[in-house]
Structure 1
Amino acid sequence: MTITKDTLIGEALDYDVTLSKYFMEMGMHCLGCPASRGETIEQACEVHGVDCDDLLKKLNAHDGAKNVLR
């Protein structure tokens, strides 16, 4: 899965829950909230003042559970 600015946070976490650490690092501590899971990566970055391109690089470079579970 390639994560883009239009990817919903919920989709990214459903794909690989270990990505949650990057959202937590940016101050998004409400990942279980239905509203946050329906936000796009871009929307979350705007709200939390995070550079979207930097976050996308981290998310797409992450080598976590996706490789263990698939």
Structure 2
Amino acid sequence: MDNIVENKITKDMIIAEIVERFPYLAEYIMDYGVHCVGCGVASFETLEEGFMGHGLTSEEIDIILEELNKIIRETEG
């Protein structure tokens, strides 16, 4: 059996798209300092751009992505 886990979200996805598909992630994204999940910027800014704009490094963003994808797997099975 294949143990490869497909990530549901990536750092190049638009924030609004992520929140639309996985609304329960909005709270977690805001916990990391990106509070614009519902503003106009979210409709064209990627998750990476949002996090970098709030001072996070690429390494920190990769860790957050792992955590967010883990939440999706635990929530949706």
- Identify the TM-score tier after normalising by the shorter chain: 0.7 to 0.9
List aligned pairs for 1:33-52, cutoff 5 A.
Answer: 33-50=39-56, 51-52=60-61
Alignment correspondent of 2:22? 16
| Unmatched 5+ stretches in structure 1 | none
Q: Which amino acid aligns with 2:53?
A: V
RMSD after superposition: 1.8
| Unmatched 5+ stretches in structure 2 | 1-6
How many residue pairs get matched?
Answer: 66
Which is greater in Rg? 2
Q: Please tell me whether the aligned partners of residues 22 and 55 of structure 1 are also in contact (alpha carbons under 8 angstroms).
A: no
- How many angstroms apart in 1 are the aligned matches of 2:16 and 2:37? 8
User: Alignment identity in percent?
Assistant: 35
2:4 matched to 1:4? no
Point out which structure has higher relative CO (alpha carbons under 8 A, 6+ apart). 1
Using the size of structure 1 for normalisation, the TM-score is 0.78
1:54 is paired with a residue of what secondary structure?
helix
Q: Where does structure 1 differ by over 3 angstroms across 4 or more consecutive aligned residues?
A: none
